[in-house]
Amino acid sequence: MPDNSAKETVLRYYREVWERRRPEVIPSLFADSYQNHAGSRGTLSGPAGIRVNYDTILKSFPDVRFELDDILCEGQKVVVRYTMRGTHSGEFQGIAPTQKAVVVPGIGIYAIADGLISESWVVRDSLSLLNQISGR
């Protein structure tokens, strides 16, 4: 029988933090040494980096939700293909709120160690997002 604990850790992150809006559980999901290699957003470190990312996204897209389109697990690595949906109701990267709905695909690869997310590579289609809110 396969060990689903890595997958469950990642699912708990999306379910508790994003779906239920419970950022207080972030420290119980992410290692203190956690590193997110977030592409254009730079590196986010530790649970505090995830909290900053959470707060930033929620400030810009208060109704944000993540639809998990695919979840693949191999050992202690989990891959999630997701669709981020929300309304641009707060400033985002210097762009004033437009009240436009956005649909943004992304992929996250999560490494799990000792039951915690220890590292990730999360890339979303930032160009598509910027085009949607700037009207291009």
For 22-51, how does the pLDDT look when each residue is reduced to its tens digit (9 = 90+)?
Answer: 999 999 999 999 998 876 666 788 999 999
Question: Which residues, in sequence order, are CB contacts of 28 under 8 Å at separation 6+?
Answer: none
CATH code of the domain in which 127 resides: 3.10.450.50
Furthest CA-CA distance within the chain: 50
What is the domain count for the chain? 1
Q: What pLDDT, on a 0 to 100 scale, did the predictor assign at position 136?
A: 66
- Strands 116-124 and 30-37, how do they pair? parallel
- In the structure, how many helices (H) and strands (E) does the chain have? 4, 6
Task: Provide, rounded to the nearest whole percent, the portion of the chain with pLDDT above 70.
Answer: 94
- What is the model's pLDDT at position 1? 37
Query: What's this model's pTM, rounded to 2 decimal places?
Result: 0.91
Q: What angle do CA 35, 65, 33 make, to 5 degrees?
A: 10
